Chains A and B, each alone.
Chain A
């Protein structure tokens, strides 16, 4: 199960997500020629405290659902990519539906810290041309899964 600080998520097999992404990783990353920009940069994901992790993972997965995967469908994508997105997106729905980030006042500073990290990512995304940003964000799902694995308990 995942333990993002106080948030617990079961019934998601991280290996299933990895396998879905690995099936398309090379073809997607090859389409991203902007090697000098990384959206999920170290400042977004390094040294995230347990308390922050629930807020941050919730914001990131919601962004992938609402923006990255949703708009990726508008691109002419091959069947393999459709299937990969479907597995990732439907499991992201399971995760986000079980995350209950706490909204108490004493957690405000932690929430703000997590939100600053998320805005770093979002700003970098918005600075790119939409097509390039979608391809880059999808190509960085391995960075996202590598970070999420730190909160996965076997």
Chain B
């Protein structure tokens, strides 16, 4: 290949990670050439050899799913993207050091809101990640972040909220007025890792009280 001068036809090589789904993304640079294709390699921090990522060789895409290749939580990784135009290597850029434990963001939880006459129940469903435990089961977020807890909130009226929080997955706000609409929300927090999900929000109405009907 003719290694063209660094024509910066490649920029912003970085990992985007959410719930441990790790996607490498990049942009073509200001001086990119039509017909440019890209190849991705990756390696563990501390190792010498770069490994080619199957499925992301000579691709026109500007992203590559490296979830399985970067799934070891105690490891840190680098990725490299090389840009080629027909007949020559244009540019090569490396990502920052990547640790999914530190970098991943947490998505809102999956929740079921159940209205009753004088209460509202909120059930949080576990969030499973692509990370496999030694026995092969998919790890849930709770198994990865030791300090993970849920914070549920019910906006009662404009002046205050009801808060319930903890590691359990079931919450019930009691003592409510029947046949009234409330705004409920739950988010996931892992303070040690400065992680906080956006809230899952449900607008729900308590059931009418038919005992006197």
Contacts and interface: CB of A to CB of B under 8 A. Distances in A.
Interface of A: 14-15, 18-19, 22, 26, 29-30, 32, 35-38, 41-42, 45-46, 139, 142-143, 146, 149-150, 152, 154
A35 B194 CA distance: 26
Interface residues of B, number: 21
B99 interface: yes
26 contacts: A14-B192, A15-B191, A15-B192, A15-B194, A18-B194, A19-B194, A22-B194, A26-B96, A30-B96, A35-B43, A35-B45, A35-B97, A36-B48, A38-B76, A42-B75, A46-B74, A139-B97, A143-B76, A146-B99, A146-B101, A146-B102, A149-B146, A149-B192, A150-B146, A152-B146, A154-B147
Tell me the interface secondary structure of chain B in the complex: loop
B194 A42 contact: no
User: Considering the complex of A and B, which 5 residue pairs feature the smallest CB-CB distances, nearest first?
Assistant: A38-B46, A36-B48, A29-B97, A154-B147, A35-B78
Contacts of B191: 15
A18 B96 contact: no
B31 interface: no
B46 A37 contact: yes
Contacts of B74: 42, 45-46, 146
Contacts of A150: 146
Nearest to A19: B194
Contacts of B43: 35
Nearest to A29: B97
Contacts of B75: 42
B47 interface: yes
Interface in B132-153: 146-147
A154 B189 CA distance: 14
Interface in B6-27: none
Interface string B55-80: 00000000000000000001110100
A24 to B, nearest CB: 13
B46 A154 contact: no
A5 to B, nearest CB: 18
A150 B145 CA distance: 10
Looking at B43, B146, B192, B193, which has the most chain A CB atoms within 10 Å of its CB?
B192
A30 B14 CA distance: 13
Nearest to B145: A149
B109 to A, nearest CB: 20
